[in-house]
Amino acid sequence: MSFPTSSVIAERTIVLYNQHVVPRLTQRNKVIGISAAVAMSLFYMINKALTPPKKLRHIRYVSILTILRSVLSGEPYWDRAYRIYKPIIDDPNNHDGLYLEYNRAGWEVYICNPDVAKEMLMNQGNFLCTTTTDIYPKLDIPEEAKNTLTDKFMGGPNIGFLNGHQWKTQRKMANPAFHRSMPVRLFGELTIEMFKVMETMGETINFSNLTERWTLDALGKAGFGFNFNAIQDQHSPWVRTYDICNVGIRDPFFFVFPKFDKKYLWLFPKRKLIHDELDRFVHMLQEVIDTKRLSLKDKDYKNEALEENEKDLLTLLIESENRGEGAMTDEELMSNLRFFFIAGHDTTSSALSFAIHHLAQNPDIQQKAREEAIDILGDEPVDVLPTLQETKNMTYINQIILETLRINGPLPTIVPRWTTKDTQLAGTFIPKDIPVNVNLFNIHHSEKLWKDSHVFNPDRFKGEENKSAFLAFGYGGRQCIGMNFSFNEQRVMISMMLRKFTWSTPEKSIHKNGVITDGFIAFTPRNLDINFKKRY
């Protein structure tokens, strides 16, 4: 005779309590009663996550209590990774580079070996059964996480999360927008606009705030044909609403415990206001789509922010629909626009801020990069707009971008996959229906792959030796579609800034001894203050 486990008993108790006890409570005691239900639910979730199931216990794991203590204490991800993960991944006896951690979808296998990561991302492995389906498709949003703030912002039927035919259809429609001639002139003009704003801000500037506004305008004009006016007006409705939503998404508590972002949301009135702001943001985006549809009825319509014959992403998606080459429903179109805000705005904004921080901390590297920018663009005391060809010649600046993405990549992991069959990774058995992920931060900081991994050193990318272990944009057929777009944004802004300014970290900055980050599923520097001095 078998007996139910403690997790099963806890789950049954919670169900009975919610169904039979809470409804019978008086209004006066209901808050206390529901609070007790919340506490029981929290206990159940933690109890369930204390130990992996038997089928996964051959893989070493990180205790959820260790992670919870770290997250709730506000420990930066860098410190947590170096304290908890690096001893695991740099252990000479850990040949497979795998470990387990409990996440929203349950116990998740994390890969910290670049060769194994590529094997998984290419859907090639030593499988123990044979079918023609993908072995590692992207994981669906867990049911308990649906309609949370994060899901409402990033989830849905978009190019980032779909699989199979649906993904291929959307990718085909979006490809032209990212394979045309890059709008480097637009990036340069926005940088000059940013310089003018910096003139009014004094010597010390919150640069992370400025890059968020710069990339918002770059995405708006190049992606949607819409001017958010974020650089000029930091209090614009778009900046205000988007910032509020972004802060909400970065809250680790609601990401780890999604039930509190839905069923028990009423206990967190401030969180409810963020949900309301996201609804407002979606409504504003719908107005952008509706305006674009009306504009395209005019055969002479042109996005004035782009070069001749260039078209923004939203225009291309709607035109392909009008030509019958493929159509996105309103839900799909809206979902993709929200996704591109995260993929095309937040990551590049953070990468630029991290790069400026590291150049502030390393004046010798900053000067070497400046010499390259001057060699390509000249040293005349005027703002110069780089051409696409000139950005291709920025070898050392490109190494700085790569090293920044290695040491402080905005995304610590990729979108999770899951196993559709029993399989093996690096000789380790992985059962069917298990979430699988790649920990980019751990790969990019492993001493097995990068000597003195904590040191900012662009010369790592001087040759091809280390590039095989660099996975900031993913790998294989689903590598980030906006990779070249982001690279060109960064090359243009950094090169123009090197000619215009020298900069350093203020003595009293919180970042003086290492960058402090905010975020959980994506990182950004916390209020990055930089001292700028004009060169002309």
Annotated binding site: 480
Q: Which two tokens stand for residue 352?
A: 């630029």
Of 341, 115, 327, the closest CA to residue 242 belongs to 341
Please report, for the chain, how many H helices and E strands are present, in that order.
21, 11
Sheet holding 501-504, edge to edge: 204-206, 529-534, 501-504
Cα(119)–Cα(141) distance, rounded to whole angstroms? 23
**Can you say which residues are annotated as belonging to the binding site for heme?**
480
Cα(470)–Cα(473) distance, rounded to whole angstroms? 8
Q: Which two tokens stand for residue 207?
A: 């640069």
One-letter identity of residue 26: T
Cα(345)–Cα(242) distance, rounded to whole angstroms? 11
The number of CA neighbours under 13 Å toward the Cβ of 99 is 21
Which residue bears the tokens 């002479």?
300
Residue 169 · residue 158 · CB < 8 Å: no
Residue 492 · residue 184 · CB < 8 Å: yes
Q: What are residue 61's DSSP bridge partners? A: 100
Residue 182 phi, psi dihedral angles, 5° rounding = -70, 140
